[in-house]
Amino acid sequence: MIKRYTKGMLVASLAIIAITLSALKNNFGEDESENAGLTVPQGFSAVKLIEGIGKARHLIVTPKGHIYVRLARTVNNQGTLLLEESNGKATVKSGFGNYGGTGVRLYKDHLYVASNSEIFRYKVDANEQVINPSEPETIVTGLVDKGTHETKSIVMDNTGNMYVPIGCPSNSCQIEDRKRGSLGQPGCPLLQTAGGVWQFDPDKPGQTYADGIRYATGLRNVVGVDWNEQTNQLYVMQHGRDQLDNLFPDLFTAKQNAEIPAECMYALKKGDNAGWPFIYFDRLQNKKILAPEYGGDGKKEGSSEYIDPVVAFPAHMAPNDILFYTGNQFPAKYKNGAFVVFHGSWNRAPEPQAGYYVVFQPFKNGKPFGDWEVFADGFSGSPEKTASGRADHRPCGLAQGPDGSLYVTDDVKGAIYKISYKAGMASAERKAATATAPSKTATAAKIAPAIKTSYLAGAKVYARNCQTCHMADGGGVQNLNAPLSKTDYVLGNKARLINVLLKGMKGVDIGGESYSNVMPAHDFLTNQEIAGVLTYVRNSFGNKASAVTIAEVAAARKTKKP
């Protein structure tokens, strides 16, 4: 009997072949060092199962060992991939869902998948395979997605509830987001629809955010969520606030910004308020501190009505997942403790960047006990790449396999790592974690002597006002802040570029990549400062373009063109 293929089936098959070939090329085209380049504790080993599948975010490994992984962006119109593992490698078997996103969970006989604004579910068969990948049920729609803190994660409890964190599209709820000196919006109305965790019924199609229960609030941006089986409680990891020194330079230094606003682990109960944007948690003072947008000065304490974190991690390291280890493969000290994956910082300059690793927080009797420790490091490629923020791989998602192994995704090169334990297994010595100096600043192209003074003055303006977001090398930050190297926005129309500084910009798409952070208006800079910094940018980072003059800035400011 001849099997007939529809056009759709053929396209899907070709897409799977393309992803698999790309992954195989990456797997066998590189030198795999011991433990896939990672450093792990004595007795553990790590392998890279696959690479090149796309921007891999959260994943699950089913009881039968199938791997479902979400992609931030679709590859060949597929946002969820099914992989099969064999002999230390993984192969893409199928894919579905023409939408990107982060969250994925297996619950009862359905696979739940999140886009940035919706929750879908797919029926699975007895072999944990999705039955009708083109016909998902829509469970929730209308979740806030304004291109900033937009990802949605999913977790279930033991009594039939689903929890979805909804990030707030703001850094600190300023009237003008990320603008120097702008105060906070009174009462922060954004908290009505975002900035917390919402509870939904996983078995009820057609819900909107308004049908859910606002389970907890005051959470700026949560990506990592898990359910603690010991205490029957929801745990989340919050991304702490940015740019204390940049927004309020009279109150905070760059070093204080790099060190004090903690990345917090919270144990939540219904009705809890973690306090964002009105407070941040200062990990050095070990106190809730009133935010400067709401009258704080770095010393005034925040209200006692806000809950305390159960663990306060270093600032800006971007915790993207948390997983309570319930397996039996790892040594006893890991049982019921929490693994946390840190995607890596961008907002510590001029201090070295940090993170890009998986840490372990011990628990005892259902509560954090003792200090956390780095469990798996080396994703960035080297200490120098960590310090500069130019990591080769950025860990993102965590999953526990049926045998108790730990799986970790990477959303830069689309890799999946598997970490296992075997008693007595030889392990490489731990690499030195000594922080190195930040990468060298960009070297200017040869410029005419007539504009050298403006260029040098602009370099100082850049270091003071721009480097925090666009980095010392002008490379920007993945998905957040646009790069400045050889782009049309930098090298093209000067009037447009000047107006970006004067008026700010949001939701820019450059070279097929979108960048979610707001570029605030910098109209507080003088015409001379704007001319200088744009001359610097247009002649650094591999760029070579004409200078911007004070007269051109003055004309743009006067006409106020968009």
Q: How do residues 388-423 score in pLDDT, each as one tens digit? A: 999 999 999 999 999 999 999 999 999 999 999 986
Split at pLDDT 50, 70, 90, the class of 448 is low
pLDDT at residue 27, as a whole number: 45
**pLDDT tens-digit readout, 538-549:** 988 888 888 888
What pLDDT score does 310 carry?
Answer: 98
**Angle of helix 527-538 relative to helix 494-503, nearest 10 degrees?**
120
Domain 449-559 has CATH 1.10.760.10: yes
CB under 8 Å to 206, separation ≥6 — which residues? 138, 139, 141
pLDDT of residue 552: 86
Query: Which pLDDT score, from 0 to 100, does residue 9 have?
Result: 42
Q: What tokens appear for 234 in the block?
A: 């929801």
CA–CA gap between residue 237 and residue 286 (Å, rounded): 17
- Give the residue carrying structure tokens 């890596």: 344
- Cβ burial of 93 (10 Å; 0-12, 13-18, 19+) is middle
- Region of poorest pLDDT, from 29-43, 94-108, 492-506, 517-531: 29-43
Q: Does domain 36-421 have CATH number 2.40.50.1020?
A: no
Give the pLDDT score at 509.
74
- Residue ranges per structural domain of the chain: 36-421, 449-559
Binned at pLDDT 50, 70 and 90, residue 537 comes out as confident
Dihedral (CA of 468, 471, 474, 479) sign: negative
Q: CA 268, CA 307: separation in Å to the nearest integer?
A: 9
Q: Is residue 447 predicted with pLDDT exceeding 70?
A: no
Residue 492 corresponds to which amino acid? Answer: G
Any bridge partners for residue 85, and if so which? 90
pLDDT at 187: 97
Which of 139-153, 475-489, 526-540 has maximum average pLDDT?
139-153
Strand partners, 140: 119, 207
377 pLDDT band, cuts 50/70/90, is very high
The confidence band for 521, taking pLDDT boundaries of 50, 70 and 90, is: confident
Q: If you ran DSSP here, which 8-state letter would residue 441 be given?
A: P
Please give the pLDDT value at position 446.
Answer: 56
442/419 Cα distance (integer angstroms):
38
Position 30 pLDDT exceeds 50: no
Element (H, E) at 266: strand 263-268
pLDDT value of position 500: 86
Q: What is the model's pLDDT at position 240?
A: 97
For the ranges 298-302, 303-307, 376-380, 487-491, which has the lowest average pLDDT? 487-491
Taking only the tens place, the pLDDT of each residue in 341-363 is: 999 999 999 999 999 999 999 99
**How many helices (H) and strands (E) in the chain?**
10, 32
DSSP state of 365: T
Residue 426's pLDDT band (boundaries 50, 70, 90)?
very low
347 closest CA partner among 261, 423, 413: 261
Higher-confidence residue of 24 and 84: namely 84
pLDDT (0 to 100) of residue 506: 79
Q: Which helix (H) or strand (E) holds 532?
A: helix 527-538
207/484: higher pLDDT: 207
Determine which helix (DSSP H) or strand (DSSP E) holds 521, and give its type and residue range.
none
pLDDT of residue 439: 40
Sequence letter at residue 516: S
CB 70 within 8 A of CB 103: yes
The answer to whether the beta carbons of residues 103 and 97 sit under 8 Å apart is no
Whole-angstrom Cα distance, residue 193 to residue 145? 11
Q: Is 175 exposed, middle or buried (0-12, 13-18, 19+ CB in 10 A)?
A: exposed
For residues 182-196, average pLDDT: 98
Which band of pLDDT confidence, cut at 50, 70 and 90, is reported for residue 442?
A: very low
pLDDT value at 273 more than 90: yes
49 pLDDT higher than 70: yes
pLDDT for the residue numbered 454: 83
CB-CB contact of 218 with 196 (8 Å) = yes
Identify the pLDDT of residue 60: 98
Cα 322 to the center of its chain, rounded Å: 13
- The residue among 3 and 338 whose pLDDT is bigger is 338
CA distance 43 to 375: 12
pLDDT category of residue 31 using cuts at 50, 70 and 90: very low
- Do the beta carbons of residue 346 and residue 336 sit within 8 Å? no
Q: Which one-letter DSSP state was computed for residue 446?
A: P
- Beta strand 222-228 with 67-75 is unpaired
Residue 50 phi/psi, 5-degree rounding, is -165, 160
Could you give phi then psi for residue 75, rounded to 5 degrees?
-120, 120
509 vs 443, more confident: 509
Rounded mean pLDDT of 106-115?
97
CA dist., res. 264 & res. 280, Å (int):
10
Residue 24's H or E segment, with its range, is helix 7-28
Average pLDDT over residues 440-448: 48
What 3-state class would DSSP assign to 40? coil
Sheet with 67-75: strands ordered across: 56-61, 67-75, 78-86, 89-96
User: Which value, to the nearest 10 degrees, does the dihedral of the CA atoms of residues 87, 397, 485, 529 take?
Assistant: -160
| Statement: residue 449 has pLDDT above 70 | no
Beta bridge partners of 86: 89
Report the predicted TM-score, pTM, of the whole model to 2 decimal places.
0.80
Q: Does 75 score more than 80 pLDDT?
A: yes
Eight-class DSSP state of 98: S
Mean pLDDT of the chain: 88
**Lowest mean pLDDT segment, chosen from 142-151, 286-295, 442-451, 540-549:** 442-451
Q: Please say if the pLDDT value at position 42 is more than 80.
A: yes
Which of the residue ranges 57-61, 134-138, 178-182, 438-442 would you say has the lowest mean pLDDT?
Answer: 438-442
- Alpha-carbon distance of 397 to 406, in angstroms, equals 10
> What average pLDDT does this structure show over 272-284?
98
Contact 185, 173 (CB under 8 A): yes
Mean pLDDT over residues 62-86, rounded? 97
Least confidently predicted of 83-87, 345-349, 383-387, 478-482: 478-482
Q: Of all residues in the chain, what percent carry a pLDDT higher than 90?
A: 69
Mean pLDDT of 304-323: 98
Give the residue ranges of DSSP H helices in 436-523.
452-465, 467-470, 488-491, 494-503
Looking at the predicted structure, is the pLDDT value of residue 425 above 60? no
Contacts by 443-448 with C-beta closer than 8 Å and gap 24+?
A: 443/540, 444/536, 444/539, 444/540, 445/539, 445/540, 445/542, 445/543, 445/544, 446/544, 447/539, 447/547, 448/547
pLDDT in tens, 553-562: 888 888 864 4
Q: Determine phi and psi for 226, rounding to 5 degrees.
A: -160, 160
- Are 56 and 70 a contacting pair, CB within 8 Å? yes
Is there a shared CATH topology between the 36-421 domain and the 449-559 domain? no
